[in-house]
Structure 1
Amino acid sequence: MSQPEISKPTEVSSAPAKKRHGRLFLHGFGKMVAWLILLIVILTLLSTTSFLSDFILKNLNKIDIKVNPIAAASHQTSVAISDDASASDVNETKDQVQSKTLLLTSTKQNAILANSKELTPDKKPQSKTDLAKELSHARTLDEKRKIQQLADESILEKGADHPETKIDLTNLPPQPVLDGSKNTAQAIVVLGGGLTRDDQGNIIPNIFSQLRLLQAISQHQATQLPIFLSGVEAPYMQAWLKSKGVTAQWLEARSMNTCENARFSALMLQKLGGAPRVELVTDEWHIPRARWLFAMNGIETVAVPAPLPGDPAPWWPDARNLTHTRRALHELVAFTRDRWFGVVGCREVP
């Protein structure tokens, strides 16, 4: 009886299998490329049109902003500047500041003189000329800087233009608008937007700051409210305003970011008698976070949005919308960080 033949498995050719795998790989890679291209197109459309930035701004403005009642109490004061108050009641004059500087210098001189007497008790009395020379030699550069720093700090706190070019505070007119008893804005607060250099290399406010200043000028002409500049850009913003025939009443020139803008401005306004409500000038994407930070420091704000470069931008794809999208995304991230994780890089005092 013959045994049945065992059939051997047929070998499948590897070439067609490799082709199928290659086609599948190419098909999958092609899908990835297609999705990537589609994503790039969508992101480009969103960033170059107004839809994304407007959507972010709309939702940021929906956030409920409540003024901190404890901080607000410091602005509701009975010693606010009244209609009869003069600038000299609030600000120190240049003579007063110079007197402080002379007093500090005199104190230093007396201390140096006392030390020199202790060290050389048996020496003959010195002439005025020799004593002046020794005192001049003893006052080191570091001591001079300390004296000047104390004077500059006092001037800046009272609203000086710049440490080297101080405002003549005695010539400022009375300011009856900082009256906490009135349910109106007491000042126009302008937040700095940065600095740049002109063609001659001089430092000037950049286009963001200039647009905010132009908005502030318009608001000042409509309301006659005084202008309050906030930010390290303040001295240069003041110079730019003066070139337009307008002068800011107060300058806060120590803040380095939006949180410090709000905190240091609130401290200075408290010294002026309190300002429970101000008009806040900055670009509209910056306004929600800036208003929230001012509210945390007890100040209610009326939004006065300033335009951005190139405004108004169309809704269709346009390079100007890239600026809006960048600002919107920046403020979304910053606002989320400040509200949920706490403000960082914000000093307590100037």
Structure 2
Amino acid sequence: MFYYVSKIAWFFATPSNLLISLILLGLALACFRRLRTFGIGVSLVFTLATIALGLLPLASYILLPLEERFPPFRDDGKPVDGIILLGGSVEASDSAARGRLVANESAERVLDTIQLAHRYPTARILISGGGGTVFGDGAAEAPVIAGYFKSIGIDPARILVEDRSRTTAENATFSRELAKPREGERWLLVTSAWHMPRAVGVFRKAEFTTAPYPVDFRTAGGSRTHRPFAFISEGLRRLDIGTKEWAGLIGYRLTGRTSELFPGPQASQAGGIASR
């Protein structure tokens, strides 16, 4: 039930969808003579808000704390037993239709996992990502990525496929069931930097200790954070991502899926030599 409620609620609460809906609402009100002035005013206000939120760096300010919560992975020389790749980087249905891997803007998750697979040739690779939509089951992402990994020469014996999960919380639960991590093993967790706090939170809740390996950064940090966007669509897209992630953190904490509102690094994750 949580899955369906969250998906439907977020469809209407997504900033870009909400702004367009409010503009259309204003136009609809303007069709009534008594509400004409008010309706035009509503449409004008939210049209200007759409332009401002798309061009101004508000989205960068929202994303930056998420992306800087965990530092880049540091290699302290200890062996790596496993690599967990969370889904969200491949369009599974499109890949099936095209007969080839169709990646999206989070493709860096896949690219960095390939790099790690070569850097740690004995590590197992667990790909977590099922299908599912609000109105039915979609193609699972994990088997598509697994097939691609095999096609580029990664040993199939190293690959574990978790294709049931539809949410980040299920990623953690089902991954632990499949990996059966032993005490002392070291597993890297690969996902987008802006998604890492929530991902780490649910893996901790599932008692699956991981070392965060953030990728797919959407902010540059420093003074570049204050730069406006060149395209309205770019700013709105990042605003959607950032607000969704903060909403996810709050929702997961309120429903007990994480034990912290804003999970951060633990002392055991500090130290070592930068590996990236």
TM-score by length of 1: 0.46
Q: Which moved more, 1:328-337 or 1:50-59?
A: 50-59
Letter in 2 for 1:190: L
Cα distance in 1, alignment partners of residues 171 and 182 from structure 2: 18
Q: Deviations over 1:130-169 (max 9, x none)?
A: xxxxxxxxxxxxxxxxxxxxxxxxxxxxxxxxxxxxxxxx
Who wins on radius of gyration, i.e. which is larger?
A: 1
Question: SS at the partner of 1:58?
Answer: helix
1:207 to 96, 101, 104: 104
Cα distance in 1, alignment partners of residues 103 and 163 from structure 2: 16
TM alignment of 1:119-134, pairs within 5 A: none
Which residue does the alignment assign to 1:251? 161
The Cα shift of 1:221 comes to 2.7
Which residue does the alignment assign to 1:176? none
C-alpha contact 2:129 2:142 (8 A) present in aligned 1: yes
C-alpha contact 1:262 1:293 (8 A) present in aligned 2: yes
The Cα shift of 1:238 comes to 0.8
The Cα shift of 1:195 comes to 1.6
Which residue does the alignment assign to 2:82? 187
Q: Deviations over 1:18-74 (max 9, x none)?
A: xxxxxxxxxxx99997897566545533344543344344068659xxxxxxxxxxx
1:342 to 249, 253, 256: 256
Which residue does the alignment assign to 1:230? 128
* Residue correspondences, number: 197
1:218 aligns with 2:130: no
Q: Deviations over 1:163-208 (max 9, x none)?
A: xxxxxxxxxxxxxxxxxxx966431100111423259643745325
Cα distance in 2, alignment partners of residues 276 and 195 from structure 1: 31
Unaligned runs of 5+ in 1: 1-28, 64-181, 345-350
Alpha-carbon distance change, 60 to 239 in structure 1, aligned in 2, over 3 angstroms: closer
1:241 aligns with 2:149: yes
Cα distance in 2, alignment partners of residues 276 and 58 from structure 1: 29
Which residue does the alignment assign to 1:317? 229
The Cα shift of 1:304 comes to 2.1
1:332 to 206, 227, 246: 246
Question: SS at the partner of 2:229?
Answer: coil
Question: SS at the partner of 1:196?
Answer: helix
TM-score by length of 2: 0.57
The Cα shift of 1:290 comes to 0.7
Cα distance in 2, alignment partners of residues 250 and 240 from structure 1: 13
C-alpha contact 2:87 2:129 (8 A) present in aligned 1: yes
1:45 to 52, 56, 59: 52
Unaligned runs of 5+ in 2: 1-35, 71-76, 131-140, 259-276
Q: Deviations over 1:301-337 (max 9, x none)?
A: 333233279x999932234343322111111111101
Alpha-carbon distance change, 244 to 315 in structure 1, aligned in 2, over 3 angstroms: farther
Letter in 2 for 1:231: G
Question: SS at the partner of 1:246?
Answer: coil
Cα distance in 1, alignment partners of residues 69 and 256 from structure 2: 20
Cα distance in 1, alignment partners of residues 61 and 143 from structure 2: 33
Cα distance in 2, alignment partners of residues 299 and 198 from structure 1: 30
Aligned-pair identity (%): 23
2:211 to 278, 302, 313: 302
Moved over 4 A (4+): 29-40, 59-63, 182-185, 311-314
Which residue does the alignment assign to 2:182? 273
C-alpha contact 2:66 2:196 (8 A) present in aligned 1: no
Alpha-carbon distance change, 57 to 288 in structure 1, aligned in 2, over 3 angstroms: farther
Q: Which moved more, 1:245-254 or 1:200-209?
A: 200-209
